[in-house]
Structure 1
C-alpha cells in the first residue's frame, strides 16, 4: 500500500510518500480501506519529535483518525463487517491506504456524512466534547470562552458549547474566521490580533468573567484566560500551540476559587463509556446538530502541504487527506 512515512523527525520535508507493507490484522481489530484521513496539529508535533506524551518509534506512519470501508475483521470482532462505512480513532497509521483499528475505537458513519466529514470528527470533536461536557461540566446558561476558534478544536468547541445552551465568546486571528465562528454559534467574537482579548471579555461580561474556558494556545494566553474566570470557573487546557513555557502561581487559582485541568484525549478514550460518547458525537454530526467544517481536501501524497497549512494557521476547520 501507499503511505506517508517519517524515518526521522523534522520539518514537513521528512514526510515521504512511498510503498510500505500492508498492516497486519489482529483478532480484535478491523482493517479499514481509508477513504479520508484527518490532519491535526498534534501530527506536526509527532513529525517534529516534540510529542512528549507518548514515545514514537521510527519509522512511523502519522495520523490518528480515518474514515473508510471495512476490508476485513479479526476473528473476535462482532460489531463490524466487511463493507461497513466506519470512522476510527487509531494510535498511528492514518496517513495510508489501509489502517487497522481496535474494534472498540470504530463506529459506523451515518449515511448523511461523507468520508471527509467523518474523518474530521474524532480528534477535534472528541477533545472539545470531553473538555466541555465531561471535564468542565458546562451547563446551559453559563458563559464559555473558546480560544482559537478557527482551529479544529475551536470550531468544534464553539458548536458544542452552543449545543449545551451556553453563551459563547470566541477568539480568532482574523475577521473571516470570526464570521465563521458566529455562523457556528458564537454570540460574541474577538480578533486577538487587533484587540486585547482579556479587556474585551471583561467588557462583554460586565466584569464578571466566564464560567468555562476551552484553551489550546498555552503560554501567556493560558494565564490571562485563568484570570478571566468567574468564581467557580473551570479552564480546560487541551494543547500548547504557542510552545511558550509559562509558570502558574497556585495562588491565582485559590484566590479566585477556580480550577485548571488538562485533557489528553488518549487517556479519555481508555476510560469506560468512551466509545458510547464517540458514537453520540458522530450521531449528532450525522443529524446536523453539530457540523464538521472541512477547510480543504488534499491528496495523501501532499501531506507536507497539509502540515504547512496548519503550521501557518491558514485553515478554518479540518484539513483532510484523501488516499
Structure 2
C-alpha cells in the first residue's frame, strides 16, 4: 500500500510517500479499514518535529484520525462487518499503525460507524476533536445547562466542536477568536459572545459578561500565557480545563488558588498511550453518541481544506501556519 512515512524527526519534508507492505489483522478483535480520509491534528506536527512515542517501531506512519470502509474482520469481531463505513481515533504516535495510509488495522472497540450525513473527509476530521471536547466539558468540568463557559479559540478544530457541545446542554458560551470572520463563524455555531482577543482583553470582557463573577467553566485550547490569564475570568470554585501542560515559567497559580479553582488536564490520547482498553472503549462510545448527534443535525464538523495523501507535508505547513478555522484532512482515493 501507499503510505506517508516519517523518515526522521524534523520539518514537514521528512514526510515521504512510500510503498510499504499491507498491514494484516493480528488479533481476532481487529478490523482492516480501507482508509478514505485521515485527519491532520496538532499532535501530528508535534510528533513529526520532536520524534515519535515509539522510536523503536518502524516505519513511522502519523495520523490518529481515520475514516473508511471495513475491508476485513477478525474472527471475534461482532460489531462490524465488511462494507461498513466507520471512523475512529487510533494509532499515529509511532510505528506502522497510523492513518496517513491506504489501509489501517484497528481494534473494534476504538471504532464507530461513520455518520451517514458526513463525507469520509468530514468524518476523518472529527474523532480526536470530538472526544477531546466531550471529555473536557462533559467528563472533566461536568458542564450542565444554565452555566456559563469560556472556550478559547472557538473557531479552531476542538473549539468549534466544544461550542456546539456546550450549547447542546443549554450553557451560555463566550469564546475567543482572532478576526471578525471567525466571530461570525462562531455565532453561527451558537456562541453568545465572541471576543476578538487581539482588540479586547478577554478576561475583562468575560467579567463584564458575567457581572464580575467569572464563568462557571473555562476551556483552554491555547495554553501558554493564556492559561494563566484565564484564571481571574473563572468564578470562585469554578472549573478550568486545559488540553496543554501549564508552563510554570509563564505564570503561577496564585489567583487560581485564591479562587479555589478546580483545574483539570485533558489528554484524550492517554488510553492509547497506556493501552487502557476500557477507556478506549468508552471513547468509542463517545463517537457513537456523536454519530447520532451529527445525523440528527445537532452537531457539525467544519472541514477547512483537503489535501491528497501525497501532499501531507503541505497539510502540515498549513496547520503550523496557525489562524485556521476548522480542520484539515488528507484524502485517499
Bin of the TM-score, shorter chain as denominator length: over 0.9
Number of the residue aligned with 1:262: 265
How many angstroms apart in 1 are the aligned matches of 2:25 and 2:283? 23
1:263-302 residue pairs with structure 2 within 5 A?
263-267=266-270, 270=276, 271=279, 273-302=282-311
- Structural mapping, 1:1-323, within 5 Å: 1-26=1-26, 27-49=28-50, 54-57=53-56, 58-92=58-92, 93-239=98-244, 246=249, 249-267=252-270, 270=276, 271=279, 273-323=282-332
Gaps of 5+ in 1: none
Distance apart, 1:207 and its partner CA: 1.2
C-alpha distance in 1, partners of 2:163/2:148? Answer: 11
Give yes or no for contact 1:219–1:246 (8 Å, CA) kept in 2.
Answer: no
What secondary structure, in the 3-state scheme, does the structure 2 residue paired with 1:273 have?
Answer: helix
Runs of 4+ in 1 over 6 A off after TM superposition: none
Deviations 1:72-105 (A, max 9, x none): 1111211111111111221221110111111101
Report deviation, 1:250: 4.4
Report the CA distance between 1:314 and its aligned residue.
Answer: 4.3
Note the C-alpha offset of 1:246.
Answer: 3.6
Check whether the contact 2:303–2:327 (CA below 8 A) recurs between aligned residues. yes
Is the 8 Å Cα contact of residues 37 and 124 (structure 2) preserved in structure 1? yes
Superposition deviation, residue 251 in structure 1: 3.7
Aligned residue for 1:265, secondary structure, equals coil
1: CA distance, partners of 2:213 / 2:251? 21
In 1, Cα distance between the equivalents of 2:55 and 2:190? 37
For structure 2, the 5+ residue unaligned runs are: 93-97
The 1:268–1:157 alpha-carbon spacing in structure 2 relative to 1, beyond 3 Å, is farther
Alpha carbons of structure 1 residues 257 and 245: separation in structure 2 relative to 1, 3 Å: closer
TM-score by length of 2: 0.91
TM superposition shift of 1:144: 0.5
Q: CA RMSD in A?
A: 1.8
* Secondary structure of 2:198's aligned partner: coil
* Contact residue 90 and residue 100 of structure 1 kept, 8 A: no
Structure 1 residue 268 displacement after superposition: 5.3
Q: Relative to structure 1, is the Cα distance of residues 179 and 56 closer, same or farther in structure 2, using a 3 angstrom cutoff?
A: farther
